[in-house]
Amino acid sequence: MDMDTLAAAFEAHKAGQTKFTRRMAIALADMDGSTPRQLVLRCERLGLLKQGSWDWFAANGGITAEHIKEVRAAAPAA
């Protein structure tokens, strides 16, 4: 996903939200074809998230395989 598309998807997912969540990271990573970690770090580099956002996730339980499974199970069928 190019930078403009990622930024637009990020803003659409974050609309009306005050926090960037694990669920958003997983959903955007799936759209981007990356891992949640790669996606969060990319968003940090692009200035879409504060520096250290991934560190916060890691320090607060990370984004686990179980989180990913739950998000994917709840996603509408493509």
Per-residue pLDDT tens over the stretch 11-27: 887 888 878 999 999 99
C-alpha 54/C-alpha 64 separation (Å) is 13
Q: What pTM value is reported for the model?
A: 0.86
> Which range marks the domain in which residue 23 is found?
3-74
What pLDDT is stored for residue 78 in this prediction? 63
How confident is the model at residue 3, as a pLDDT?
A: 87
Instruction: Please name the residues in contact with 47: beta carbons below 8 A apart, sequence gap of 6 or more.
Output: none
Q: Note the pLDDT tens digit of each residue in 27-71.
A: 999 999 999 999 999 999 999 999 999 999 999 999 999 999 999
Number of domain units in the chain: 1
State how far the alpha carbon of 69 is from the alpha carbons of 14, 45, 47, 52, 73, in Å. 21, 27, 28, 25, 6
